[in-house]
Amino acid sequence: MTKTTADRRRNLGVVLALAGISVMLGACNTTEIVTQTVPTDYRQRHPIAVQEGKKSIVIFVGKARGGLSAAQHSDVAGIARDWAREGTGSVVVDVPVDSANSRAAAATYQEIRSVLASGGVPSRAIVQHPYRPEDPGLLPTIRLSYSKIAAVAGPCGLWPEDVGPSILDPGYNENRPYFNLGCATQRNLAAMVDNPADLEQPRAETPAYTARRNIAFERYRKGTTTATAYPESDKAKLSDTGR
């Protein structure tokens, strides 16, 4: 074997060794790619969030008459009841100034304060906010609003992916729910819930009716039936009309 041939083999061995080392190092640096998809559960795609919202009503006031009508009086009284149950801040009353009905609006505001106070809203929780209407052609209104804790979901109507077959969505044949599915149900549930805290935790139990419980326990101790008798049910009969 000549010296040149030995050198060539030696160089080839070095190259192969370096190639093996580079492959091993490349395998150690491999990064796993995880593809994120839309959650299958609609409650995860459209979760209900509990946050601070606002409730408001509008009172229309003419320029020739101040005060509340019967229907408006009922609306303001309803705001007072709702504020006592769910309000988290002051009742803000936006009253127009420098407008055609500003004098009537000022008189109406005084009656609104009286109705709110009679409904349990303290005077320190009623805040007047004067404002100048932007459009003089529109009838300025008085707006009552307060902050409250509300449950919200959405927005709905979002379609980030094609519903039908598409080369842009290789997973369309996997029978996965489309993104907007279930959003309206979650949004309606959030709007109907009476107390948003019920979505996070159960309410405290009310005390048992001790008087009725003692009667039932006494009957159970004596071995008699604990069912309630309804004598009026035996007197019920069908009507003879049509016979």
Element (H, E) at 184: helix 183-192
Predicted TM-score (pTM) of the model is 0.61
Measured CA to CA, the distance from residue 147 to residue 113 in angstroms comes to 18
Measured CA to CA, the distance from residue 45 to residue 39 in angstroms comes to 6
Can you give the pLDDT at residue 9? 62
Can you give the pLDDT at residue 171? 60
Give residue-wise pLDDT tens across range 90-109. 999 999 999 989 999 999 99
- Contact of 151 with 184, CB cutoff 8 Å: no
The more confidently predicted of residues 185 and 10 is 185
- Contact of 108 with 59, CB cutoff 8 Å: yes
- Residue positions counted in the chain: 243
Cα distances (angstroms) measured from residue 165 to each of 42, 66, 103, 144, 171: 21, 63, 64, 50, 9
Neighbouring C-alpha atoms within 13 Å toward the C-beta of 7: 3
Give residue-wise pLDDT tens across range 36-64. 566 788 899 999 999 999 999 999 999 88
Give residue-wise pLDDT tens across range 200-230. 888 888 888 888 889 889 989 889 888 877 7
Give the chain's end-to-end CA distance (angstroms, integer).
128
Cα distances (angstroms) measured from residue 32 to each of 21, 24, 28, 223: 21, 16, 11, 72
Mean residue pLDDT of the chain comes to 83
CA dihedral (11, 16, 19, 24) positive or negative: negative
